[in-house]
Amino acid sequence: MSPLPPPRLPQVFLRWALPPGASGESIKGDLDQEYMERRNGHPQASVSGWYAFEALKLGFRFLLERIRPTPGRVGQGGRTPKRSSPVERFREEIGLSFRLLLRSPWLTAFAVVAMGLGIGVTATMYSFTHTVLQDLPYSESEELVSLNWDDVTSGWENMRLTAGEFDSWRDTQTTLEGLAAYRSTMADLADDTGEPEQLAAAYLSANAFTILGIQPARGRNFLEEEERPDGQGVALLSHRLWNRRYGADPEILGKSIRVNGIERTVVGIMPEGIHFPEWEDVWVPLLIDPTNEAGGAARRFVTFGRIREGADFSQAEAEFRTLAGQTALSAPEDYQNLTFRFRSYRSYILGEEAAPISLGLLAVISFVLLIACASVANLLLARAARRSRELAVQVALGAGRGRIIGQILAESLVISTMGGLLGVGLAYLGTAAMRRGLEAEPIPFSWMAIEVDPAVLAFTFGLVFIASLLAGVVPGLRASRVDVNEVLKDEGRGSTGLRMGRLSRALVISEVGLSCALLIIAGLLAKAPVEWSRSDPGFDKEGMFTGGITLRTTMYPASEDVLHFQTDLLERLKGIPGVTHAAFSSRLPGQRGAVWTFHHHGIAYEREQDLPRARGMVVGPGFFETVGVSLSGGRAFSNSDHSESPPVIIVNQSFAQQYFPEGSPLGRQIRVGGLDTEDSWRTVVGVAPDLTMAGPPSVEGSGFYLPLRQQPERDIKILLRTAGEPLALTPAVRTTVAELDQDLPVHSVNTLAREIMRDMTAEFVMAGLLIISGVAALVLAAIGLFGILAFTVQARTREIGIRMALGAESGKVLWGTLRSGMTQVGLGLVMGMALALLMASVLGELFHQTDPLDKTVWASVIFLLAIVGFLASWVPALRAVRTDPVTALRHE
């Protein structure tokens, strides 16, 4: 067994801290030797810990020694009277402040922690919002624009372009460097190297990467002729996929892979980190064929371009509005409800709400930063106030104003440096934790890596440093100007001497207020997701395996093939040991269902928008049994509900109440689809209980279920009920599917419970961020309050001692301190509630169904703050009472 050397980081620190040369080396050597001796008989972790701790102590001792202005306390000849250089004097000041700060270690620790916490939390949060607000990772990305249609009547926004629009505009336009289009999809990738898998893929026009300014790292880009139906056999791979699946083998170029069953030759590998538009790993050429009836009119093309040099946004917008107007004129009926939208690609891809939400978060974060500043400032104020007597003595002895301010600056600098280091550490830990927390649900865009931004770090640090500086300089200035006689007469009651009391009380009040507002908002935001996660979805979400399979038209051209495969697969899945029930559905229960329009029998609808809407899901036989609910009326679907049998439908209870309030829905007729639907009239054969269909955060909603065998669905979810661990079924499921189709991947494997939680990830992350900020704010405010009271008590020790000696009741002394603290907390709470009310009215929409005045949230926040405030005042108050009059009188 080879013995482990001492931990590396402490060693590096020691080398840096110890004197250079043989003496330093030998001192470190001594510690190393002790470490090696210790290793026998102690567990490794404890020895490493011991080494780190000892190295830290030893190193710090030498660092302190280095900044000591005079050599040793023994036999020293006093400070040298000769004038020292500014640098030396600065070093002296720093050394002096170190020692002064160590004399009140608690205050120093509080200030450092407050500062570190403030910097750490805000830098973490800023880093998070920065990832959302940053530029897209394409060269001159602000020049990229996006072309869309909005439907004014139906509310559909950001509709894509048709192949026809795209094809005609790209030839006529002059203001863009080129018009490119893409369509994202999921693709099944298969080859001879391993298991098939489903990946995010995109169909791209040949010029897309060129317009983005990205060249393949290897191989070539798509060619224009590959956009035509006969040139489709090529593909580009992402660097990540190339590494993971093909071991970065350059020989893959020119080899053949199967994408959705179509043979394609790999012609290029894109550079690392490129996953345009979101997380795509495979790209294939977009088929641009406006003459194709079905594909030509469908709005499938996400279209973007880059503004040509010499043109600007408004020129381009004007040109495309004209083009859009001409196109609309050519077919007025198709375009009567559509308005053309021309905007930056960034705002298209991130969504319009991304910016305000991030800015809201920024505002909240700034609160924390403000609180941190106030906290640090307050502690330093308390400190400066306490030192007013000492400063006055210095002034009396002839110290100049510059000297005193220099001292205070040095102190601020020392505290800021320590707090800053702590803050940087916390920021890195925080972002790492955040990355971990988001692992389950990848951030929507590949370029959004959550990393600490040095600029952000510098900014937060600068702000807190300035605050600490101000907090030092203001009392410093007052002290240097102060009437020396007055202060010297004022026995130790520093805070009264410099009249700093009012300012620091105001700071505590605003800290309490800000954290109160922050916590209320965080609570309101968190309530809906938390409640939703606890709510009863109407079924048992535990013990359920879920996965998905997609049957491509290339492999399964006819609906019969799809049905046949699905029937076959279901039987086999039921045979897997441990599976008690199995079923297919188009969506997972508990997740958002698609919105369908439908027709009531006997009502004539004139316009599309008159049709009623409800959530719909296609489910196979055994679905309700597998989910574990029984129908409240009628019957479930069975194998005899197929394409030849009478069309049927099952509605849920909300649907029954909303659309058939007068009686039983059983036997009534509905058909689904738009005005031109070809759906036949379906008879309601069952009423199901309400299972979450609208998706989070709402639990209820009208919905219906269609039988899979009458409404074939290629993209289905597998649901397997098991008594054991659901994911233990994964290998068996994959083998079962592979028995039927070797190229068919099972994707999105997860437990149902976790899949359902995923829908709320964004809400949870946001609420979590706010709660962390709120708690940090609370801690900061508590530190501020505690610090200020503790130091008031300490400063008044003598006075309290005298009063106690003269027979003052301890209860009165206790109450006095407590009251002063609680008054500040109370005022802070009032201010915080007012602020929260104001913010709640602005942010109201983010709270989902939670009432901005929700009693539980408000009451618990106020209660929490009151308790914390009470404790922060109680401890110093107790200390005041415990003061021994004799010691107190001696206290200086």
- Tokens 């600029």 belong to 455
Dihedral (Cα; 58, 64, 69, 70), 10-degree rounding? -30
- Residue 844, Cα to own-chain centre: how many angstroms? 20
Q: Least separation, in Å, of the C-beta of 53 and other proteins? A: 11
Q: Least separation, in Å, of the C-beta of 41 and other proteins? A: 16
Handedness of CA 495, 500, 502, 503 (dihedral sign): negative
**Nearer to other proteins (CB atom), residue 11 or residue 162:** 11
Tokens of 852: 């901005």
Q: Least separation, in Å, of the C-beta of 49 and other proteins? A: 16
In single-letter form, the type of residue at position 59 comes to G
| Contact between 93 and 406 (Cβ < 8 Å) | yes
Tokens of 475: 């009392």
Q: Least separation, in Å, of the C-beta of 62 and other proteins? A: 6
Instruction: Round to whole Å and give the CA distance between 377 and 780.
Output: 12
Non-local (6+) Cβ contacts of 143 within 8 A are 306, 307
For residue 697, whether the previous peptide bond is cis, meaning omega lies within 30 degrees of 0, is yes
**Nearer to other proteins (CB atom), residue 61 or residue 601:** 61
**Nearer to other proteins (CB atom), residue 22 or residue 603:** 22
**Nearer to other proteins (CB atom), residue 59 or residue 616:** 59
**Nearer to other proteins (CB atom), residue 23 or residue 553:** 23
Q: Least separation, in Å, of the C-beta of 112 and other proteins? A: 20
**Nearer to other proteins (CB atom), residue 55 or residue 410:** 55
Q: Least separation, in Å, of the C-beta of 27 and other proteins? A: 5
**Nearer to other proteins (CB atom), residue 92 or residue 226:** 92
Nearest to 385 by CA among 508, 505, 494: 494
| Contact between 835 and 872 (Cβ < 8 Å) | no
* Element (DSSP H or E) covering residue 548: strand 544-550
**Nearer to other proteins (CB atom), residue 32 or residue 441:** 32
Q: Least separation, in Å, of the C-beta of 65 and other proteins? A: 5
Q: Least separation, in Å, of the C-beta of 17 and other proteins? A: 10
Non-local (6+) Cβ contacts of 759 within 8 A are 591, 592, 695, 696
Q: What is the 3-state secondary structure (H, E, C) of 166-192?
A: HHHHHHHCCCEEEEEEEEEEEEEEECC
Q: Least separation, in Å, of the C-beta of 750 and other proteins? A: 52
Q: Least separation, in Å, of the C-beta of 52 and other proteins? A: 14
Q: What is the DSSP letter of 3?
A: P
Instruction: Round to whole Å and give the CA distance between 125 and 129.
Output: 6
Looking at the chain, the number of H-run helices and the number of E-run strands are 29, 22
Instruction: Round to whole Å and give the CA distance between 192 and 195.
Output: 8
Binding site residues, other proteins, CB under 8 A: 19, 22-23, 25-34, 36, 54, 57-58, 60-62, 65, 71-76
**Nearer to other proteins (CB atom), residue 31 or residue 629:** 31
Nearest to 373 by CA among 431, 459, 451: 459
User: By three-state DSSP, how is residue 296 classified?
Assistant: helix
**Nearer to other proteins (CB atom), residue 2 or residue 630:** 2
Q: Least separation, in Å, of the C-beta of 19 and other proteins? A: 7
**Nearer to other proteins (CB atom), residue 58 or residue 544:** 58
User: By three-state DSSP, how is residue 590 classified?
Assistant: coil
Residues facing 617 on adjacent strands: 705
Per this entry, what is the length of the chain?
A: 892
